[in-house]
Amino acid sequence: MKMTFRWFGEHDDAVPLRYIAQIPNISGVVTSLLDIPAGDVWSIARIRHMRDTVRSAGLTCEVIESVNVHESIKLGAPERDEKIENYIKTLRNLHEFGIKAVCYNFMPVLDWVRSHLYFDLPDGSKTMMFSRDFIENTTPELLAARYAEDSGGVALPGWEPERLLYITDTIARYADMTDAQYVANAEYFLDAVIPYAERYDIKMAIHPDDPPTKIFGLPRLVNDADSIARFLALHDSPYNGLTLCTGSLGANPQNDVAAIAARFTDRIHFAHIRNLQFVSDTDFYESSHQSGSLNIYGIVRALADNGFDGYVRPDHGRMIWGEADGMAVSPMSRTAARPGYGLYDRALGAAYLNGLWDAVTRGRVVN
């Protein structure tokens, strides 16, 4: 298990790399080039600068989250071949700088969805929340506007301005698409890309749908054990793998996340581990890594028992210790901490996960 931490880049993250490097047992950061539009090639120069910046803090840069998939690929539109070619060129360039895994998702139009970015908990912390009723009574456009206002103008990954400009039109293009067509479009992408992932030794790790249920009538691809098995079989290679996102999969109370972790360990290359607290069958808020509805111990143990040797990062945390109140983590920082991505609660999460891993593996021969 290699413990990592998500970092959004030198101009896009309030948390400095040197603080991340002080978290016990952290080996590297998971990062991206957020300003490069989906479908464009990541240049050698940009990747080198990203890698060197991370290394200068004594951290490794081996996992990218994300290289986004252009909408035409998800739609099966004619320009997809050119965009897939660009995706492969990006993988080739990432390979030159030692990238070992790429997290990506195949969610139509919208990335992750929450109803609240800063929901107040009784202890004074703030956290993200999902209310099914709220989502069913809003529109994607209203939600995007709400996010922009709540996040103080920070471009949220998955809700980048260039994506939002076309949100209404793009959603309309999915109106007649069946789930079977959507699966076929994913298969087309995998058949083209995975042979190159093998050549460049980059493990592709799809992120499950977040939340794991239909949103605004859009198709869904990866959200429970059956759909994970179906997806991995579309192109049967160790390089066609999964990001185990416990909070995404766990948002469906029917999903046994520990059982999913155990069943697919050899195809899990990256794990996002976080907890959530259900307030009803459909609604939840993101709780601390230790306290919540999910059995994080059982999930970590399932990974350890099955020989997991991939990357892990603590996932979303609450905003604690004043982080959401405008208290800058770094005096040099130009941006506020992103919802879910403050320093403190994620660092506590990493410490908890490290402790669990130690407790279940000490004295055993594991990776």
What residues make contact with Mn ion under the rule CB under 5 A? 245, 272
Cβ of residue 207: shortest distance to Mn ion, in angstroms?
6
**Cβ-based nearer residue to Mn ion, 200 or 285:** 285
Q: How far is the CB of 165 from Mn ion (least distance, A)?
A: 25
Identify whether the C-beta of residue 284 lies closer than 8 Å to the C-beta of residue 277.
yes
Q: Of 186 and 205, which has the nearer Cβ to Mn ion?
A: 205
Smaller CB distance to Mn ion: residue 80 or 272?
Answer: 272
Can the peptide bond before residue 66 be classed as cis, meaning omega within 30 degrees of 0? Answer: yes
DSSP state of 94: H
Give every strand in the sheet of 277-278, ordered side by side. Answer: 116-120, 126-130, 284-285, 277-278
Q: Which of 140, 247 has the CB closer to Mn ion?
A: 247
The end-to-end CA distance of the chain, in Å, is 7
Q: Which is nearer to Mn ion, 272 or 301 (CB)?
A: 272
- Least distance in Å: CB of 312 to Mn ion? 12
Residue 272 or 318 having the CB closest to Mn ion: 272
Beta carbons of 111 and 157 less than 8 angstroms apart: yes
Q: Which is nearer to Mn ion, 128 or 302 (CB)?
A: 128
Minimum CB separation of residue 299 from Mn ion in Å reads 13
Helix (H) or strand (E) segment spanning residue 257: helix 257-264
- DSSP for 168-209, please give it: HHHHHHTTT--HHHHHHHHHHHHHHHHHHHHHTT-EEEEEPP
**Smallest distance, Mn ion to C-beta of residue 93, A:** 25
Q: What is the CA radius of gyration of the chain?
A: 19
- What is the smallest separation between the CB atom of 13 and Mn ion, expressed in angstroms? 17
Q: Which is nearer to Mn ion, 69 or 88 (CB)?
A: 69
CB of residue 75 to Mn ion, shortest distance in Å: 23
Q: Check if the beta carbon of residue 74 is closer than 8 Å to that of residue 108.
A: yes
> Which residue lies nearer to Mn ion by CB, 90 or 105?
105
What is the signed CA dihedral for 44, 47, 53, 57, rounded to 10 degrees?
-120
CA-CA distance, 272 to 253, in Å (whole number)?
18
CB of 132 to Mn ion, least distance (A): 19
Instruction: Enumerate the β-bridge partners of residue 204.
Output: 102, 240
**Residue closest to 114 by CA, chosen among 206, 253, 208, 210:** 210
Name the maximum alpha-carbon separation found in the chain. 57
Q: Which is nearer to Mn ion, 91 or 245 (CB)?
A: 245
Contact between 320 and 346 (Cβ < 8 Å): no
Tokens 């399932």 -> residue = 302
Region of residue 49 (left: phi > 0; alpha: psi -120 to 50; beta: else): alpha
Q: How far is the CB of 272 from Mn ion (least distance, A)?
A: 4
CB of 363 to Mn ion, least distance (A): 31
Number of alpha carbons in the 13 Å side-chain half-sphere of residue 4: 26
